[in-house]
Amino acid sequence: MEIMLFGLLAVLLIFMVINTRKRNKQMKAEQAEKAEKTIPGAKVLLQGGLYGTVVSFDPDNLDQPAQIELAPGAVVEVHSQAILRVVEPTEDADDELEADEDDDADAHDSVDAAAGDEAPYGVETPEQTRTRLEGDADGK
């Protein structure tokens, strides 16, 4: 009876060791993949649920903070391990974005014309934002 218990304990210990090694290999592979994909310009999801764009990231020195742009001009420093994953757009989202760009092009052209500056789609300068908000406040 005691021999069976020792045998069962040995099997459980072997199972635990194998499982731990497998999990460690998987985590290292995921970390390497994340470090490879985390380049300036990549969109990432942070641990707190915020989305941002990578400004700088050093995969070799994880003690150095990563700089993430949350909004145009708003760059924050976060711990390198606060980056949960790199967000990759799906094909459906790309198709929807292209359709939205076509529909909203006229609305953004009026904002660009009011401010007098040309800005890429989806990016407003502070002057354009101020002009748009003042127009909304006037009952436009």
Question: For the chain, what percent of residues have pLDDT higher than 70?
Answer: 73
- Res 127 pLDDT > 70: yes
Q: Taking the alpha carbons of 96, 69, 62, 84 in that order, is the dihedral positive or negative? A: negative
Helix boundaries (H) for 38-139: 91-115, 126-137
Instruction: Please write the tens of the pLDDT for every residue from 42-56.
Output: 899 999 899 999 999
Q: Which residues of 125-140 are buried (b: 16+ CB within 10 A; e: fewer)?
A: beebeebbeeeeeeee
Quote the pTM value: 0.50
Alpha-carbon span 100 to 9, nearest angstrom: 61
119 φ, ψ (degrees, to nearest 5): -130, 150
